[in-house]
Structure 1
Amino acid sequence: LMPLFCGLDGSICLSPNYLHSNSTSHTWSFSAIAELIDNAYDPDVTAKQFWIDKTMIKGQDCLTFTDNGAGMDYDKMYKMLSFGFNDKQTVNGHVPVGIYGNGFKSGSMRLGKDAIVFSKNEDSMCVGLLSQTYLEQIKAEHIIVPITMFHAASLQDILRYSLFQTVDQLLCELKAINSPSSTNSTGTRIIIWNLRNSSEQLEFDFSSDRYDIRIPADVYESSKKQYKKPEHVMQSGPETDYSLRVRFQPLY
């Protein structure tokens, strides 16, 4: 019960290096975060709330993204973690944002090398691991993604290669999806670690403002130079360019 795939139908095999090269479509980290928010907004998820936070797990800085949407079963998570698959449909005039089936993969891998997805709907719980570190360690020639129904016995690779080594630790993350008003909430929780850095400095500043995630000034300036932005923009960029709260609060 741990399907490992190349393409959804098994016909297209992708090199693990593709996870990184695919992520470079995002020259700006906030556009990668927007992909994860948009997924929660889509009509098949319809999350009413979305939480972005930073946490420490086993000494590693991690970004967490949690929504209280419909959650995913095994089949939906398999499709979410597949490349190029998209079956989103307009519901009551609510048009889905993503159309290429690539947003989660490009966005999550832009933010860090490794991501684990916890999800539960009304009937089931499942866990999926999208990890460049995992693929490097097992010397995979193609992209392999362990996905398992939570009650299944085959959790071996997820427990061995993620930040979570016990079933109880995975259960704690699934329980974190619960809202304060309900013990049976549905939703999805994404944890990303091995966060991208610039000159050995994290791309994000988690400490300057406890209620915000910001891009440090020197990282912001160096990224402007790297992507050849006009000089006048580099000198006085708007706060929406480096404050996650200021950037997304008006939009969502």
Structure 2
Amino acid sequence: MATRRQRGIPLSSLNPKFLHTNSTSHTWPFSAIAELIDNAYDPDVRAKQFWVDWTRIKGLDCLSFMDNGEGMTRARLYKMLSFGYSDKKAVKDHVPVGIYGNGFKSGSMRLGKDAIVFTKTRDSMSIGLLSQSYLQAVKAQQIMVPILTFRRDGQNLAEDAASLEAILTHSLFSTEKELFSELRAIGAAGPTGTRIIVWKLRTGETEFDFAADKYDIHIRASGSERSRERRAMSPESDWSLRAYCSILYLKPRMQINIRGERVKTQLISKSLAHIANDSYRPTVQLFSAVHSTGHM
């Protein structure tokens, strides 16, 4: 592996296996989904609506996430696909949720092995690929993120030829026509926005149950009687994405839609059965200390 240097000093490297390692911070899939929702909720994005859906593309189960926010420039998309970069700022009383530049990577890679991002601003359209499968296929020793940018006239940049080939070869979409179809899907929600598709959710049976409720996404229960008993005793927000999203924010500012139906948000402060207020008044007790000295 060639050593990259800056000012004559070796730079640290990031092995592709870190994508999986980093994702294990999420032991629960809903917290991973929350990372993607948080990105749209943050004040710099200005999204008014967010959609979560399940779809099948070329025979694979996929999760899709879309917002009608400001979209991302190529530079901002590159930062999102990189580690540790965040330029989010508070707007009035709206404080950004994420500040460490890690949420998209940990969240998307917890849900599946591969993710593709489509984003539109008023001036450009960009596509980025974060894929463990791609990195394994090319035997990458560093994390590589193919990024492709189209101008509004539909022409892509000449320097993006290698990224275009990588995306068409290693993503779910094998033609430019298919890529433009996903970019047009953003246009159905507004002139700008971002769409994320995650696939290779799990080998075999996924951890999600998409059949139990056509307007929800459930965490799949195991077939054991003990598991069913635990679920009956647990709050609905533990296994229903709709219930979880309804209480996700103390101050909901963005409409969340799951599988085509709006989530009815609940204000936690007004939903509690019993409320208790406790006043804490610290007091200082004055006392004298005794200090003894002696000789042996």
* Secondary structure class of the residue paired with 2:219: coil
* Secondary structure class of the residue paired with 2:180: helix
Q: How big is the shift at 1:11?
A: 3.3
Structural mapping, 1:43-192, within 5 Å: 43-150=43-150, 151-153=156-158, 154=161, 155-179=164-188, 185-192=191-198
| Equivalent residues of 1:112, 1:195 under 8 A apart | yes
What is the RMSD of the two structures over their aligned residues, measured on CA atoms? Answer: 2.2
| Equivalent residues of 1:68, 1:179 under 8 A apart | no
Q: How big is the shift at 1:12?
A: 3.1
Paired with 1:219 and 1:168, the residues of 2 have a C-alpha distance of 43
Q: How big is the shift at 1:250?
A: 3.4
> Residue 216 of structure 1: which of 213, 217, 220 is its match?
220
So what's the TM-score if we normalise by structure 1?
0.86
Paired with 1:171 and 1:56, the residues of 2 have a C-alpha distance of 18
Q: 1:219 to 1:132 in 2, by over 3 A?
A: farther
Paired with 1:235 and 1:40, the residues of 2 have a C-alpha distance of 32
Q: How many residues align?
A: 231
Gaps of at least 5 residues in structure 2 are 5-9, 151-155, 253-296
**Which residue number in structure 2 is paired with residue 228 of structure 1?**
none
Larger Rg: 2
Paired with 1:206 and 1:16, the residues of 2 have a C-alpha distance of 30
Does the alignment pair 1:29 with 2:34? no
Does the alignment pair 1:239 with 2:236? yes
State the one-letter code of the partner of 1:117.
Answer: V
State the one-letter code of the partner of 1:64.
Answer: S
**Which residue number in structure 2 is paired with residue 229 of structure 1?**
none
Runs (4+) off by over 4 Å: 219-222, 232-235
Paired with 2:23 and 2:30, the residues of 1 have a C-alpha distance of 13
Q: How big is the shift at 1:241?
A: 0.5
Paired with 1:126 and 1:215, the residues of 2 have a C-alpha distance of 32
Paired with 1:11 and 1:125, the residues of 2 have a C-alpha distance of 31
Q: How big is the shift at 1:86?
A: 1.0
Paired with 2:23 and 2:185, the residues of 1 have a C-alpha distance of 28
**Which residue number in structure 2 is paired with residue 12 of structure 1?**
12
* Secondary structure class of the residue paired with 2:172: coil
Paired with 1:240 and 1:28, the residues of 2 have a C-alpha distance of 12
| Equivalent residues of 1:129, 1:145 under 8 A apart | yes
Paired with 1:35 and 1:58, the residues of 2 have a C-alpha distance of 26
Paired with 1:41 and 1:34, the residues of 2 have a C-alpha distance of 10
Q: Deviations over 1:99-125 (max 9, x none)?
A: 111000000000000000000001000
Higher RCO (CA-CA < 8 Å; seq separation 6+): 1
Q: How big is the shift at 1:43?
A: 1.1
Gaps of at least 5 residues in structure 1 are 1-5, 225-231
Q: How big is the shift at 1:34?
A: 0.2
Query: Once the two structures are aligned, what percentage of the paired residues are identical?
Result: 60
| Equivalent residues of 1:110, 1:196 under 8 A apart | no
Paired with 2:207 and 2:91, the residues of 1 have a C-alpha distance of 37
* Secondary structure class of the residue paired with 2:113: strand
Paired with 1:76 and 1:165, the residues of 2 have a C-alpha distance of 25
Q: Deviations over 1:157-194 (max 9, x none)?
A: 011110001011000000101235x5xx1000000000
